[in-house]
Amino acid sequence: MEANVGSTDRIVRAVLGLVIIGVGIAYGSWWGLIGVVALATAAISFCPAYRLLGMSTRGKS
Protein backbone atom coordinates (compact mmCIF):
# COMPACT_ATOMS: atom_id res chain seq x y z
CA MET A 1 0.00 0.00 0.00
CA GLU A 2 1.95 2.97 -1.32
CA ALA A 3 0.95 6.43 -0.08
CA ASN A 4 -1.00 8.39 -2.70
CA VAL A 5 -2.42 11.27 -0.61
CA GLY A 6 -0.33 14.44 -0.35
CA SER A 7 0.01 16.71 2.67
CA THR A 8 -2.51 19.36 1.55
CA ASP A 9 -4.99 16.65 0.63
CA ARG A 10 -4.49 15.03 4.06
CA ILE A 11 -5.24 18.30 5.86
CA VAL A 12 -8.38 18.91 3.79
CA ARG A 13 -9.59 15.35 4.39
CA ALA A 14 -8.96 15.60 8.14
CA VAL A 15 -10.82 18.90 8.48
CA LEU A 16 -13.74 17.78 6.32
CA GLY A 17 -13.87 14.47 8.15
CA LEU A 18 -14.18 16.22 11.50
CA VAL A 19 -16.83 18.60 10.15
CA ILE A 20 -18.87 15.74 8.66
CA ILE A 21 -18.66 13.77 11.91
CA GLY A 22 -19.73 16.85 13.87
CA VAL A 23 -22.70 17.51 11.60
CA GLY A 24 -23.69 13.84 11.80
CA ILE A 25 -23.62 13.96 15.59
CA ALA A 26 -25.49 17.28 15.69
CA TYR A 27 -28.29 15.94 13.50
CA GLY A 28 -28.22 12.41 14.92
CA SER A 29 -27.52 10.97 11.50
CA TRP A 30 -25.48 7.90 10.63
CA TRP A 31 -24.17 9.84 7.62
CA GLY A 32 -21.59 11.28 10.00
CA LEU A 33 -19.77 7.96 9.66
CA ILE A 34 -18.63 9.09 6.21
CA GLY A 35 -16.34 11.48 8.04
CA VAL A 36 -14.55 8.47 9.55
CA VAL A 37 -13.55 7.36 6.04
CA ALA A 38 -12.09 10.79 5.32
CA LEU A 39 -10.17 10.74 8.61
CA ALA A 40 -8.90 7.22 7.98
CA THR A 41 -7.59 8.03 4.51
CA ALA A 42 -5.91 11.13 5.91
CA ALA A 43 -4.32 9.13 8.73
CA ILE A 44 -2.87 6.41 6.49
CA SER A 45 -2.12 8.63 3.45
CA PHE A 46 -3.81 6.14 1.15
CA CYS A 47 -7.03 6.45 -0.83
CA PRO A 48 -8.34 3.30 -2.55
CA ALA A 49 -10.35 5.41 -5.02
CA TYR A 50 -7.17 7.20 -6.11
CA ARG A 51 -5.54 3.81 -6.69
CA LEU A 52 -8.45 2.66 -8.88
CA LEU A 53 -8.30 5.90 -10.88
CA GLY A 54 -4.49 5.90 -11.13
CA MET A 55 -4.29 9.22 -9.30
CA SER A 56 -2.00 10.63 -6.66
CA THR A 57 -1.78 13.98 -4.91
CA ARG A 58 1.54 13.06 -3.38
CA GLY A 59 4.54 14.67 -5.04
CA LYS A 60 7.44 12.73 -6.45
CA SER A 61 9.76 11.49 -3.73
Confidence of residue 46 (pLDDT cuts 50, 70, 90): very high
Confidence of residue 1 (pLDDT cuts 50, 70, 90): confident
pTM score, whole prediction: 0.86
Q: How far apart are CA 24 and CA 47, in angstroms?
A: 22
Average pLDDT, the chain: 94
Q: Can you give the pLDDT at residue 6?
A: 94
Q: How far apart are CA 12 and CA 20, in angstroms?
A: 12
pLDDT tens, position by position, 3-21: 999 999 999 999 999 999 9
Closest C-alpha among 54, 52, 47, 57 to residue 17:
47
> In 10 A of CB 50, how many CB atoms?
16
Q: Can you give the pLDDT at residue 61?
A: 58
